[in-house]
């Protein structure tokens, strides 16, 4: 399977100097297959036009393709209807959309509490801090267990009548640990059925299926560039009844129904939240990328990536002075390490010289790094096109780099 898939990704033939590229930075962004590159070109060559408001042929074609993409996103997430899908520039904008509309709604009050995770990405921390500053609410982080897992017992003790929102990642961007989403949602609903729940799916959509209706959350956000689509694409799913009640957050363009200087009325879902000309091509190609993943099969992808992750985990765990963060089990396609006496940037730089692309730094998770007393980690992350040979090469290069740094 992998050999056929790799041939669809031209960039994987690239060499770093004389070294073959081993691309293990997929948690930051995935590479793009030919079908995605071709879909983007075909849009501009054959149907490029603005959508919804044009009566001409190209506009109709572009509109149909754009709304078909919305249907594909809805199907991918198990949404009740396409109108629950709002196209965004990515997961960050999707989370900010929810936070800003809650601020405008007047439904957040002093003393309300937002429960987040200690290892959350900044984009799932800062919007809630901004909302708390505007409304007098409080942000509370759930601590991690000594094993660096979500602490369910601590979380349950934090739930109260003041809990207004719970926002958490499906899979940790810093650790790769899969959070117990279903259990978290169940306990939140038991505490208060009206508490809002947002799931950050940025690190999950390319690796595991998520049915939003089965999960029982209120919002689900993800970025397209982490699931083989272009950068600047993504979507927010929200329950229709909530989206209907919340106000729009940007004005102009498609989000209006009628405008006068006396009064403006707003469009229906989902256009109420899509002001201005959208990333038409990007959204269409996002739909193609999700279709591509579904054709391969998320279960097949997950099994393959799990094998790679286990192999890398075991190899890294055997190296002297290397600490693999988080447990081996219940893990996504991502591993972070810290090394005694070795700076993560130095390790990443040497690996890059050997053709192995990894990510170093705090991974937009500074509060988590501060909780561990470190400045960052070296992070390896997989996609469907990675191979066992690449894992073995990455392990050899990591050991060689460590020997050079000590």
Q: What is the DSSP letter of 25?
A: B
CATH of domain 37-295: 3.40.640.10
- What is the pLDDT at residue 4? 84
Residue 318: per-residue pLDDT: 97
Q: Which of 281, 364, 365, 397 is catalytic?
A: 364
Mean pLDDT within 384-400? 98
Within the chain, all domains assigned CATH 3.40.640.10 are found at 37-295
Q: What percent of the chain has pLDDT over 70?
A: 100
- Position 1 pLDDT exceeds 70: no
- Residue 251 structure tokens: 């004005």
Question: Which pLDDT score, from 0 to 100, does residue 75 have?
Answer: 98
**Each residue's pLDDT tens digit, 318-370:** 999 999 999 999 999 999 999 999 999 999 999 999 999 999 999 999 999 99
Express each pLDDT in 167-180 by its tens digit: 999 999 999 999 99
Pairing of strands 163-169, 113-117: parallel
Mean pLDDT of 158-162: 98
Strands 196-200 and 219-223: parallel
User: Which residue do the tokens 């209006």 mark?
Assistant: 256
Where residue 378 falls among pLDDT bands split at 50, 70, 90? very high
Active site (annotated) includes residue 318: no
Q: How confident is the model at residue 123 (pLDDT cuts 50, 70, 90)?
A: very high
Count of helices and strands (H, E) across the chain: 14, 17
Look up residue 341 and give its two tokens: 């006496």
Position 256 scores a pLDDT of: 87
Q: Which pTM does this prediction carry? A: 0.97
Q: How confident is the model at residue 3 (pLDDT cuts 50, 70, 90)?
A: confident
* In the chain, ranges of CATH 3.90.1150.10 domains: 2-24+297-405
Between 3.40.50.1980, 3.60.21.10, 3.90.1150.10, 3.40.50.1820, what CATH number should domain 2-24+297-405 receive? 3.90.1150.10
**Better-scored residue on pLDDT, 155 or 257:** 155
Cα radius of gyration rounded to whole Å, the chain: 22
CA distances in angstroms from 143 to 155, 250, 362, 392, 400, listed in the order given: 8, 35, 18, 34, 35
Coil vs helix vs strand at 368: helix
pLDDT band at residue 406 using 50, 70 and 90 as cut-offs = confident
* pLDDT recorded at residue 53: 80
Count CB neighbours of 289 within 10 A: 27
Token digits of residue 388: 């066992």
Read off the pLDDT band of 301 (50, 70, 90): very high
Q: What is the DSSP string of 150-192?
A: B-HHHHHHH--TTEEEEEEESB-TTT-BBP-HHHHHHHHHHH-
Integer Cα distance of 379 and 361 in angstroms: 8
What per-residue confidence (pLDDT) applies to 55? Answer: 87
Kindly report, residue by residue over 12-51, the tens digit of the pLDDT: 999 999 999 999 999 999 999 999 999 999 999 999 999 9
Q: What is the pLDDT of residue 324?
A: 98
* 205-264 confidence digits (pLDDT tens): 999 999 999 999 999 999 999 999 999 999 999 999 999 999 999 998 888 888 999 999
Phi, psi of 7, deg, nearest 5: -65, -15
Q: Nearest CA to 41 among 231, 281, 226?
A: 281
Predicted confidence band at 105 (pLDDT cuts at 50, 70, 90)? very high
Q: Which one-letter DSSP state was computed for residue 223?
A: E
pLDDT at 166 over 80: yes
Please state, in angstroms and rounded to a whole number, the distance separating the CA atoms of residues 256 and 274: 10
């Amino acid at each position: 399977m992998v050999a056929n898939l790799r041939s669809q990704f031209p960039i994987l033939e690239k060499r770093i100097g004389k070294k073959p590229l081993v691309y293990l930075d997929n948690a930051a962004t995935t590479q793009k297959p030919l079908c995605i590159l071709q879909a983007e070109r075909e849009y501009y060559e054959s149907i490029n036009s603005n959508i919804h408001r044009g009566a001409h042929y190209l506009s109709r074609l572009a509109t149909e393709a754009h709304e078909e993409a919305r249907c594909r996103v809805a199907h991918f997430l198990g949404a009740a209807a396409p109108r629950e899908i709002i196209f965004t520039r990515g997961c960050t904008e999707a989370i900010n959309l929810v936070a800003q509309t809650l601020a405008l709604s007047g439904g957040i009050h002093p003393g309300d509490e937002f429960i987040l995770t200690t290892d959350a990405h900044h984009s799932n921390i800062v919007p809630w801090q901004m909302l708390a500053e505007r409304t007098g609410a409080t942000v509370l982080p759930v601590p991690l267990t000594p094993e660096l897992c979500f602490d369910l017992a601590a979380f349950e003790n934090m739930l109260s009548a003041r809990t207004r929102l719970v926002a958490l990642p499906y899979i940790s961007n810093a650790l790769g640990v899969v959070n117990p989403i279903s259990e978290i949602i169940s306990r939140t609903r038991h505490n208060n059925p009206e508490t809002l729940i947002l799931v950050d799916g940025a690190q999950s959509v390319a690796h595991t299926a998520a049915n939003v209706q089965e999960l029982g959350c209120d919002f689900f956000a993800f970025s397209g560039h982490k699931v083989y689509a272009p950068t600047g694409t993504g979507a927010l799913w929200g329950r229709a009844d909530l989206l209907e009640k919340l106000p729009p957050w940007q004005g102009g363009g498609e989000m209006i129904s009628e405008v006068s200087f006396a009064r403006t009325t707003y469009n229906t879902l989902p256009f109420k939240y899509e002001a201005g000309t959208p990333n038409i091509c990007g959204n269409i190609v996002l739909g193609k990328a999700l279709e591509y993943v579904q054709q391969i099969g998320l279960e097949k992808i997950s099994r393959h990536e799990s094998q790679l992750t286990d192999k890398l985990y075991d190899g890294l765990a055997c190296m002297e002075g290397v600490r693999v963060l988080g447990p081996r089990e219940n893990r996504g396609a991502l591993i972070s390490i810290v090394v005694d006496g070795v700076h993560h940037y130095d390790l990443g730089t040497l690996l890059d010289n050997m053709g192995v692309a990894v990510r170093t730094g705090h991974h937009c998770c500074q509060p988590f790094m501060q909780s561990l007393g470190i400045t960052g980690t070296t992070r390896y992350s997989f996609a469907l096109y990675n191979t066992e040979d690449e894992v073995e090469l990455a392990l050899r290069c990591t050991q060689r780099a460590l020997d050079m740094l000590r």
